[in-house]
Amino acid sequence: MSYGSVEEKDEQADVLNQVKGEGSHHVHAHSYKNKKEADVFFFHDMLRPGSLITPTIPPTASMPALLSGDVADSIPFSTEHLSDIITMFAPASLTMTREIRWTLDTCEHPRTLPGQKAGCATSLESLRGRYNVTAARKLSGSSSEVVTCHDLTYPYSVYYCHTSRPTSAYMVTLASVEEGASPTTMEVMAVCHLDTSLWSPKNSFFELHNVRPGDVAVCHFLTKLSIIWVTVDEHADAR
């Protein structure tokens, strides 16, 4: 066995022992892990027709189908059973082990802002169920609140869903201004957070543009596998 293999095995063991490591963070904190906040975010007024924007769309891999509820419920899904989960989906690389631990920690310890709710869906039934409950209590009659579900890296499909208010959701059509660019046009979902007063003042987007939390509305694009739940009237009025 090579030295590198031993080293990776030791590092993997360290990850298994880190139930909640320094890299843990809530999806809605918008760390996006491999992308700087300053690159991911843009100002709300950039969505006006005619504005030029360099879109940063978080990358996504092909996603496995959502499991049925009975299958998902039969598989352990907690940091307490991390070793069993890694064994179940072996061989798992060090990178995948870290991703699995991060996903489990994110689902167990969502860091929401006041008035928000969050949770993870591991099956089609749980995703649909979360939508029904949240829509009745959080979305109905509100044009400034949506439920956003982000795809997480895991051996099977896991979505992290959270409410956010006040928020606007858009389907944005982008056309390339560079000759020969591919694709020439694309449609992508964007979410704009209209109240950033409770965000961290150390957010790199704020620091880059010399603004403070609450001064501006901030937007970001979503991966093509993300899901947005909105009320019918808001969907009809989206521009």
Residue 26 lies in a domain: no
**Is residue 212 predicted with pLDDT exceeding 90?**
yes
**Is residue 130 predicted with pLDDT exceeding 60?**
no
Phi, psi of 237, deg, nearest 5: -95, -5
Residue 4 lies in a domain: no
Give me the chain's average pLDDT, please: 70
Of 105 and 147, the one with more pLDDT: 105
Phi, psi of 66, deg, nearest 5: -65, 140
Domain that holds residue 196: 36-66+114-237
* Number of folded domains that form the chain: 1
Residue 94 lies in a domain: no
For 69, other C-beta atoms within 10 Å of its C-beta total: 16
Q: Which residues of 165-189 are buried (b: 16+ CB within 10 A; e: fewer)?
A: bebbbbebebeeeeeeeeeeeeebb
Residue 21 lies in a domain: no
Residue 184 lies in a domain: yes
Residue 12 lies in a domain: no
Orientation of helix 94-108 relative to helix 3-17, angle to 10°? 10
**Is residue 30 predicted with pLDDT exceeding 60?**
no
**Is residue 116 predicted with pLDDT exceeding 90?**
no
Q: How many Å apart are CA 118 and CA 111, to the nearest integer? A: 8
Q: How confident is the model at residue 216 (pLDDT cuts 50, 70, 90)?
A: very high
* CB of 153 closer than 8 Å to CB of 166: no
* High-pLDDT (> 70) share of the chain, %: 61
Report the SS3 class of residue 59: coil
Q: How many Å apart are CA 89 and CA 155, to the nearest integer? A: 7
Residue 42 lies in a domain: yes
Strand 218-221 and strand 146-152: the pairing is unpaired
Residue 138 lies in a domain: yes
Digit-coded pLDDT (tens) for 66-104: 677 788 888 888 889 888 888 888 766 888 888 889 889
